[in-house]
Amino acid sequence: MDHARSGPLQEPAGLYAAAQELLGDPDLRGLPMLMGFTGFADAGHAVEQITGELLGEGTARTVAEFDVDTLIDYRARRPRITFVEDHLEGYTPHRLALYALVDGLGQPYLLLAGPEPDFQWERFSRAVVELVEKLDVRLVLWTHSIPMPVPHTRPLGVTVHGNRPDLVDGISRWKPIVSVPAAIGHLLELRLTEAGRGVVGFVVHTPHYLAEAEYPASAVTGLEHLGAAASLMLPTDRLREASREVEGQIADQVAGSDDVRELVEGLEERFDERSADAPRRSLLAAMSGELPDAEVLGAAVEAYLASQEETKDTGANGDDTQGGGAPAD
């Protein structure tokens, strides 16, 4: 989708091109900024669905666009192109950009979205901090989704982190210390904190057996938390309807498979045991209530990312591995 640019683009930082009249627009100063990057721990394709839903509203104006040729490894994440009978068309390049949008009530906000950079993380982070300072962004909010041993029949958990206690306390009451593989969102959170900017991240806990499917409930959960923290009315109606359809598909598969039913029932039992008398806290703990060590948690995330790479390789050989709203039997 080609979102409209406003005016000529210039190169203020070398890594991105900016629409100067938007960058200097007083109506775009002091807004909240949302961030979503695909390519890392996007269990349930949550970030992909969230950014697609926001940009699909049709109000996006491009404030700045990053030079993906210097940031993305094309051989690792190949753009899509369509072969139509005897010719090629519909080349879809990667795009990483900062957009200005409005919510359901006409309130403006910013969105930084696109594939996670493969290269130049520090340079990219400096460029983002520069844009945040030029626009005097009042609060940066970002989200991603990780696979967790939780049942789809219970409310999805969210781990929250950042430098705004008013938005973090009461959701993530438990304060673990765990070493995990970093994402660009993590580095941006550190650099924005160093720059004195408010920043909060939301990690959606997606049932691990649905991690590779498109799971709308994870996207809805992410949008709800982003909207609440930024005081925005973000679109969730279409995703809620899709979620109801997917839940029906999952129910059919659970009913038709003893193995899947036993898996879900076991997760429900352990989830309910841990939730009965305990205050709400991060589900990054093991089901026994003990914190897994860094190697265990890191290995789990890395194994998921490795499976994603295998899926991409299979897709490149002609199999359509995207989509699918329910676990396979």
Whole-number pLDDT of residue 71: 96
Which candidate, 161, 223, 231, 221, places its Cα nearest to that of 192?
161
- For residue range 18-77, list pLDDT tens digits in order: 999 999 999 999 999 999 999 887 999 999 999 999 999 888 999 999 999 999 999 999
pTM of the entire predicted model: 0.80
Question: Counting beta carbons within 10 angstroms of the beta carbon of residue 258, is it exposed (0 to 12), middle (13 to 18) or buried (19 or more)?
Answer: exposed
Give the pairing of strands 97-102 and 61-66.
antiparallel
**Structural contact between residues 42 and 146, judged by C-beta atoms closer than 8 angstroms:** no
Whole-number pLDDT of residue 319: 44
For the chain, give the mean pLDDT.
Answer: 84
Whole-number pLDDT of residue 35: 98
Reduced to 3 DSSP states, what percent helix, strand and coil does the chain have, rounded to the nearest 5?
40, 20, 40
**Structural contact between residues 16 and 114, judged by C-beta atoms closer than 8 angstroms:** no
| Helix and strand totals (H; E) in the chain | 10, 12
Interior angle at CA 293, CA 198 and CA 264, nearest 5: 90
Task: Read off the tokens for 174.
Answer: 């438990």
Question: Per-residue pLDDT for 301 more than 80?
Answer: no
Question: Per-residue pLDDT for 115 more than 90?
Answer: yes
Question: Per-residue pLDDT for 305 more than 60?
Answer: no
Separation in Å, CA 139 to CA 46, 226, 231: 21, 11, 11
Confidence of residue 121 (pLDDT cuts 50, 70, 90): very high
Confidence of residue 178 (pLDDT cuts 50, 70, 90): confident
Cα(121)–Cα(1) distance, rounded to whole angstroms?
26
Which candidate, 316, 314, 283, places its Cα nearest to that of 300?
283
Confidence of residue 288 (pLDDT cuts 50, 70, 90): very low
Confidence of residue 271 (pLDDT cuts 50, 70, 90): confident
DSSP reduced 3-state for 318: coil
- For residue range 215-238, list pLDDT tens digits in order: 999 999 999 999 999 999 999 999
- What mean pLDDT do residues 9-18 have? 71
Question: Per-residue pLDDT for 299 more than 70?
Answer: no
Q: Alpha carbon 258 to chain centroid distance? A: 32
Share of the chain above pLDDT 70, in %: 78
Which one is predicted more confidently, 290 or 264? 264
Cα(296)–Cα(293) distance, rounded to whole angstroms?
6
Dump strand ranges (E) for 85-194: 87-92, 97-102, 108-115, 139-148, 158-162
Whole-number pLDDT of residue 296: 45
Domains assigned to the chain: 11-316 (3.40.50.10900)
Question: Per-residue pLDDT for 302 more than 50?
Answer: yes
DSSP assignment of 225-281, as one string? HHHHHHT-----HHHHHHHHHHHHHHHHHHHT-HHHHHHHHHHHHHHHHHHSSSPP-
Cα(258)–Cα(246) distance, rounded to whole angstroms?
19
The lowest-confidence range among 7-21, 32-46, 248-262 is 7-21
Whole-number pLDDT of residue 274: 76
Which one is predicted more confidently, 4 or 142? 142
Whole-number pLDDT of residue 4: 54
Separation in Å, CA 185 to CA 128, 216, 232, 279: 11, 22, 21, 28
Buried b (16+ CB within 10 A) or exposed e, 267-291: beebbeebeeeeeebbbbbebeeeb
Q: What is the dihedral of CA 85, 69, 65, 78, to 10 degrees?
A: 40
Cα(178)–Cα(284) distance, rounded to whole angstroms?
9
